[in-house]
Amino acid sequence: MASLSHASLLDLAPVVPVVVLQDAADAVPLARALVTGGLPAIEVTLRTPAALDAIRVIAEEVPDAVVGAGTVITPAQVTDSVTAGARFLVSPGWTDVLLEAMRGSGVPFLPGVSTTSEVVALLERGVREMKFFPAGAAGGTAYLKSLSGPLPQARFCPTGGIGPENAPEYLSLPNVGCVGGTWMLPEDAVAARDWGRVERLAREASRLRTQV
């Protein structure tokens, strides 16, 4: 099982696949394809009824995966996700109530931010690793580059509007540890259960840091 600490969450791989699963039966083969392709950190978003079951079976049957829950927006989801086996949590934004629930969960977490004030507020609360979302709409690499000067202690996983074309630009920034994306999980490949294609795309994504 891959080791994980709060300090290493952003360093497991250059890309964290953001997974939306309609059928938990697809979770294990999909996770195995991603891990074999070199992407062990897998964010399963809580956008579908199958999400918690998907997290559970990945945690039980794919020991080399580091499965986490995304789109976490309530304390109840924090509890349910960790109970299911999530080893990290990701939220699109944060409140003090949600932050305290994630902090109390015992697993690493990435609260979402899109403004300088949100970053400063999290730094005040001792949080240095964050999700930058929606990255493209919120200013992209130019915005993150501007943050690195006054707030170098903050590190980010940008997600939203990121693909293989612009991921290397994000990864070249000193305050970006990894990026989140879905491009290695094309809807037609998942629908066809073409796990070989998913593995190939994951392998290409895992090599993006070497292109920086």
Q: Is 145 an annotated catalytic residue?
A: no
131 catalytic, yes or no?
yes
Residue in 100, 124, 129, 131 annotated catalytic? 131
Per-position DSSP letters for the chain, written without gaps between them: -----TTTGGGS-SEEEEE--S-GGGHHHHHHHHHHTT--EEEEETTSTTHHHHHHHHHHH-TT-EEEEES--SHHHHHHHHHHT-S-EE-SS--HHHHHHHHTTSS-EE-EE-SHHHHHHHHHTT--EEEETTTTTTTHHHHHHHHHTT-TT-EEEEBSS--TTTHHHHHTSTTB--EEE-TTS-HHHHHTT-HHHHHHHHHHHHTGGGG-
Active site residues: 43, 131
